Amino acid sequence: MSSLSLKSFVPRRMPAKVLIVDDHPIVRQGLRAMIDAESDMRICGEAQTEREARGAIRTLGPDAVVIDLSLEEGDGINLVRDAHAHHPDIALLVLSMHDEAIYAERLLQVGASGYIMKQAASDQLITALRTVLRGDTYLSEAMRGRLGGGRGSDDEHAALKLSTRELQVIGMIGRGQSSREIAEALSLSVKTIESHRQSIKQKLNLANNAQLVQYALKWYGATTQQS
């Protein structure tokens, strides 16, 4: 009989594998530097589109994925929803410039493990990753208070009535894009964008296009002034 103890056969715990999904090379570089500096995690790959991310998740088998919500090619919310449906054991941490009051609750509902604002990433990213990797949910203290107490501005509560696509459309209106420009960017017809505009006006009780544009400018400014 071998004289080796049972402890000899206990495998050494490997660093957690983290996949970065962001369409900005400089952001990916910064995230890689922060994460690779830690002994308990390492970057296993990078992706800059929703399609690349889906393939990387399948082939690399990460323990956690850091996902930029606003991808130029694809939809971060759809990526979170599908990744959670097909790979429920992977922790999904959303990194975004958008106010978590608008998106965090919706993302948690579709499978996100946590949400972190981009301007807070340098201070909170590693803590957030360790939190979601151990199976817990990561949100800022302010957002946990909002979800627990139902607080928030009237504009935040109104925006929660909108679908994911309607949020995309109103954000693009706020950036000054026309229906045709929005349609081209989202690979939809102008007629479909006009239908979304009508739906947004009805849900937000806006009387006309001028009020819609005014609301969109105000909302877009509020969600990006912190970025």
Residue 141 buriedness (CB in 10 A; 0-12 / 13-18 / 19+): exposed
Pick the CATH number of 154-224 from 3.30.470.20, 1.10.10.10, 1.10.150.80, 3.30.465.10: 1.10.10.10
DSSP code, position 140:
-
pLDDT value of position 4: 43
At 159-211, the pLDDT tens digits run 667 877 888 788 789 878 899 998 987 888 999 999 999 999 999 899 999 99
pTM over 0.85: no
Which residues of the chain, if any, have pLDDT below 50? Answer: 1-12, 151, 223-227
How many alpha carbons lie under 13 Å from residue 20 in its C-beta half-sphere? 22
Answer for the pair 169, 182: CB distance below 8 angstroms, yes or no.
yes
Dihedral of alpha carbons 94, 168, 23, 87, sign: positive
The domain spans of the chain are 14-149, 154-224
pLDDT at 8: 39
Closest CA to 71 of 94, 87, 42, 45: 94
CATH of domain 14-149: 3.40.50.2300
CA atoms 128, 19, 78, 181: torsion sign:
positive
